[in-house]
Structures are given as structure tokens and as C-alpha cells.
Structure 1
Amino acid sequence: MKADQHPTTQLVAISGSIRRASNCTAVLRSLQPLLPPDVALQIVPLDDIPPYNADLDGDAPPEAVARLKSAIAGADGLVLCSPEYNYGMPGVLKNAIDWASRPGFASPLRGKPALIMTASPGTAGGVRAQAQIRDALAATLARPLVRQHVAIANVASRIQEGRLVDATTLDFIGVALGELLDEIALLAAAQLSPRASSR
């Protein structure tokens, strides 16, 4: 891509861990080289997202929430990478989904294609959290990608200097990212079709 060209596809990446040395954030940090040159990926941190409070949920939500929702609204698709806590998704990720899901059924998440990944130091790769993440996204009318799970086991051994370096894992994720981009392209084509515009 030339210097004066802008990416035509925008992806927002969200880590389910706010730990400084998070393995999940390291995985997300490693994805840009796997993407075509016309696709940009932005990692949106959840560090400052407050616990969901309906009293604060209105036209002027907390600033960090407004930034999150704006990033999701401007994205063509989402990439989530989460650890597994006690057989489920971390509260910080569920909290972010709850905030981003407002207003109900008309939020920035509605219709947004999403690739779900998990990563764990254990042998299961955090896969048990994926069903919870998928259900939460489906409840917002987002479009979680239906595919073989991306569950990265023994993740700490696959990361060096804050980046995922395991070639086999990167290749597998690259295929999943390609499927996410295909889904985004199919949705865009459907929205531009004469049939869609006549509905």
C-alpha cells in the first residue's frame, strides 16, 4: 500500500486481559503482518472501562466507553482474544460487551462480524470461554464467525518479546483472519446489491 493510500478495511482488536504482559494482547499485537496491506488493525484497550452502570448509560457515557463504541462503530469487523478464567470469559470482557451492546439491538455491535480467539498457558487453550463469548456477542446481534475454534494452548511458550512467534499458530490464525475478511466482503456485497437496497 502506498504512503498516500488509506486502509479500505478496518478491524478493531480487543483483548480480554488488561494485564500489562497479557498473552492475549501479545497475540493481537502480532496480527497486522498477517493481514493484506489494505487492512488496518487497531487494538482498543479496556483498562479504563468502568463497571456497567445503567445510570451512566445514555447520550454521554463515560469517555472510555464512548471511545470503545466509536471504534467498534467505525470498524468493519472485530477480533477478540481472551483468556479463560474459571471456565469462562473474564469479567472485563463481558463488561465491555455489555457497554458496547447499548442501545439494545441497535448498538455498534449489531451486524458486526467477529473472530473469537482464546489463549491459555494450559493445554485447552481457553476454549471453554469461547461459548460464553459467542453467546454474549450473539445476544447483541453481532455476527460471531462460525469456524473451527482458535484456541492457543501453552501460549506463553509461543511468545517472545511481546509477540506471538510460533509459525504454525500464526498460519492457523492467518486462515481465520482470511475467513473474517471474506465474511466482511460478503456482507458489503450484500448491502450493495439491488435486492438489498430494494428491501
Structure 2
Amino acid sequence: MRILAISGSLRSASSNTQALRALTALAPEGIEVVLYDGIGDLPHFNPDLDDDAPPPAVAHFRAALAGVDGVIFSSPEYAHGVPGVLKNALDWVVGSGEFAEKPVAIINASPRAVHALASLTETLTMMAARIVPEASIAVPLLGRALPEGGVLADAEIAEALEQAVADFVRAIGRD
């Protein structure tokens, strides 16, 4: 089973990205969690470019989504919404359908980020993604300034993430 992890942040020290990196280590045996790092390479969404030969970065993103059993997101909140780079990435796959019935979990690295969570959930639901509530959790990483690998060193957070990915795998397996 392959799961794609997508961070809505381009920051190298992003707590959202750190949470997803931790998931790659916490996944059950036989489950591959791959961190997708190409959303910053996508051009601005333009329907005129969305034809039989989309830009290479778009084709790569679509192929990455099509080749996995589920997707886990973690995104910061900017101005009460998801960052533009993440919304842009999602806009590129609205019409192509990679999220139709695709199991999705959302990790919220800041429990205060309720607007971005609601916005991301609404967008993914409109795209026909299947949100897995038991695998969608909030973890208190905001303001923690953890060093690389620090999420794994925090037993409480690591345990919550490990449980979330296990719940996600179980939900995918029920399909």
C-alpha cells in the first residue's frame, strides 16, 4: 500500500512537513508513505493549459496521485485559509478526477487553524475525496520549534500520528 503525504507549506522547517516526515517512519510494516515535495513546482492554474498535454509538473503531480491508495495532508493556515500553493495544486486536479473516492486524511499541526482545516475539507469533499475522520487529527506542533526528527522524539505526538496512520491504513483496507 502506498500513501502520498502532501504538506501545504513550502517552508523547510515547517511543522506540517515535519509531521508528515514522521509519518513516513511511523507507518506500519509494508506501508509506504511518500512525501510529495513538488507542489511548489506547479505553474499557476490556468484552464487554457489544462488540456491533453498539461505542463510536466502537473502531469507528474497527477501521476503521483493516481499511483497511491490514499493521501494525507497537513497544511498551515494563512489568512484564514489554505496557502495559495496548496489551493493551486488542488485546482490542477479538480477536472482530472484523481481525488474521486480517494481516501484522504488531514493532519492539523495547529489546533487553532480551524479555517484552513474547514476550507481544505470543503475543497476535498467537493472533489469527491473520501475524508477518513478517524485518521484526521490535530497535533499541537505550533510554536514548538522542534528540531528535525523532534516529532518522533515527542512520545505523545508520535503515538497520535502512529495511531492516525494505522487508522488510515485500516480504512483504506476496508474499501
Alpha-carbon shift at residue 134 of structure 1 (Å) = 0.7
For 1:97 and 1:168, locate their aligned partners in 2 and report how far apart those are by CA, in whole Å.
31
Size of the aligned set, in residue pairs, is 173
Question: Could you give the per-residue CA deviations for residues 76-134 of structure 1, whole angstroms, max 9, x where no partner exists?
Answer: 0001010011222111111111112223xxx11111100101224xxx34233111111
For residues 73-92 of structure 1, the aligned pairs below 5 Å read: 73-92=66-85
Are residues 76 and 148 of structure 1, via their aligned partners in 2, closer, same or farther at CA, if it must alter by over 3 Å?
A: closer
Quick one: which amino acid aligns to residue 106 of structure 2? Answer: I
For 1:56 and 1:16, locate their aligned partners in 2 and report how far apart those are by CA, in whole Å.
23
Alpha-carbon shift at residue 11 of structure 1 (Å) = 0.3
Contact 2:2 2:70 in 1 (8 A): yes
Quick one: which amino acid aligns to residue 13 of structure 1? Answer: A
The equivalent position to 1:98 in structure 2, one of 91, 106, 111, is: 91
Q: Percent identity?
A: 37
For 2:112 and 2:93, locate their aligned partners in 1 and report how far apart those are by CA, in whole Å.
26
Paired position in structure 2 for 1:113: 103
For 1:108 and 1:132, locate their aligned partners in 2 and report how far apart those are by CA, in whole Å.
19
2:48 counterpart of 1:55: yes
TM-score, structure 1 normalization:
0.80
Contact 1:126 1:153 in 2 (8 A): no
TM-score, structure 2 normalization:
0.91
Q: Bigger CA drift: 62-71 or 165-174?
A: 165-174
Match of 2:128, SS state, is: coil
Unaligned runs of 5+ in 2: none
For 1:171 and 1:75, locate their aligned partners in 2 and report how far apart those are by CA, in whole Å.
24
Alpha-carbon shift at residue 159 of structure 1 (Å) = 2.2
The CA RMSD over aligned residues, in Å, is 1.7
For 1:36 and 1:150, locate their aligned partners in 2 and report how far apart those are by CA, in whole Å.
18
Unaligned runs of 5+ in 1: 1-8, 188-199
For 2:23 and 2:5, locate their aligned partners in 1 and report how far apart those are by CA, in whole Å.
9
Contact 2:73 2:105 in 1 (8 A): yes
Q: Which has the larger radius of gyration?
A: 1
Q: Which has the higher contact order (CA 8 A, sep 6+)?
A: 2
Are residues 174 and 125 of structure 1, via their aligned partners in 2, closer, same or farther at CA, if it must alter by over 3 Å?
A: farther
Contact 1:126 1:151 in 2 (8 A): no
Alpha-carbon shift at residue 138 of structure 1 (Å) = 0.7
Match of 2:12, SS state, is: coil
Match of 1:155, SS state, is: coil
Q: Bigger CA drift: 10-19 or 155-164?
A: 155-164
Alpha-carbon shift at residue 174 of structure 1 (Å) = 1.5
